[in-house]
């Protein structure tokens, strides 16, 4: 990721200088060529941008809450989940009540300081985000299931949710930004 003039670039190259706000210069793994990434829309383009990327907060200045948040989560699926399988288990047979009980145990252990959220997420979450310690990255409204989204957007940074039920299963959400 680069945002300024690159060593070895020709001064005649139109690609010299600092990029407009909201853009990153990246290198394509497949072609080896530079492309430009809009950090707000997550879209890429081959041509160098000439003006600043419009941030979501500018486009939606009437919104009173942040347009993107970052969360990690622990998911415990049950037999009635939308997809009752996971990276750990091809067929999940636990009941919804068992899933809720597990999430409550995880929450108690984390709140008491006997377990770290990232460790529990990595070892015990049924979501594929376990490989990244539960990190879901940044997302805006309309990108997650409604129950999950509402709970996540109502958390303060650093706050751990109560159990949240969605079609995917039972979640424990930690808002990180």
Same domain, 101 and 160: yes
Instruction: Please answer whether residues 54 and 148 qualify as being in contact, where contact means their C-beta atoms are separated by less than 8 angstroms.
Output: no
pTM of the model: 0.63
Q: Over the stretch 34-61, which tens digit does the pLDDT of each residue have?
A: 888 888 887 889 999 988 887 655 444 3
Q: How far apart are CA 134 and CA 140, in angstroms?
A: 17
Is residue 83 in a domain? yes
Same domain, 48 and 97: no
**One of 55, 67, 140, 145 is an active-site residue; which one?**
145
| 162 pLDDT tier (thresholds 50, 70, 90) | very high
Asked whether the predicted pLDDT for residue 64 surpasses 70, the reply is no
Among this protein's residues, is 168 annotated catalytic? yes
**One of 127, 129, 156, 161 is an active-site residue; which one?**
127
Q: Over the stretch 6-32, which tens digit does the pLDDT of each residue have?
A: 333 333 334 557 888 888 888 888 888
Higher pLDDT, 4 or 29: 29
Arithmetic mean of pLDDT, 99-128? 96
Other C-beta atoms lying within 10 Å of the C-beta of residue 82 = 10
* Domain at 142, CATH number: 3.10.50.40
Asked whether the predicted pLDDT for residue 62 surpasses 60, the reply is no
Q: What mean pLDDT, rounded, does the chain reach?
A: 85
* Domain at 41, CATH number: 2.20.70.10
Same domain, 139 and 72: yes
**Which helix (H) or strand (E) is 58 found in, with range?**
helix 56-59
Q: How far apart are CA 37 and CA 157, in angstroms?
A: 26
User: What does DSSP assign to residue 31?
Assistant: T
User: What are the start-end ranges of the H helices in the chain?
Assistant: 56-59, 96-111, 117-124, 146-154
Among this protein's residues, is 73 annotated catalytic? yes
CA distances from 122 to 29, 96, 117 (A): 28, 21, 9
Domain range for 109? 68-175
């Amino acid at each position: 990721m680069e945002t300024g003039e690159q060593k070895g670039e020709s001064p005649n190259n139109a690609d010299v200088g600092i990029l407009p706000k909201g853009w990153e210069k990246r290198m394509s793994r497949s072609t080896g060529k530079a492309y430009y990434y809009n950090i707000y829309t997550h879209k890429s383009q081959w041509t160098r941008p000439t003006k600043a990327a419009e941030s979501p907060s500018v486009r939606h200045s009437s919104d009173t809450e942040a347009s993107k948040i970052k969360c990690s989560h622990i998911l415990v699926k049950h037999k009635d989940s939308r997809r009752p399988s996971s990276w750990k288990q091809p067929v999940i047979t636990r009941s919804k009540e068992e899933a809720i009980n597990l999430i409550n145990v995880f929450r108690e252990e984390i709140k008491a300081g006997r377990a770290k959220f990232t460790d529990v997420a990595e070892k015990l979450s049924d979501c594929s985000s376990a490989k990244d310690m539960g990190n879901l990255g940044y997302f805006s409204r309309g990108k997650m299931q409604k129950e999950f989204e509402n709970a996540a957007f109502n958390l303060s940074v650093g706050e751990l949710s109560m159990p949240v039920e969605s079609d995917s299963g039972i979640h424990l959400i930690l808002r990180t930004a």
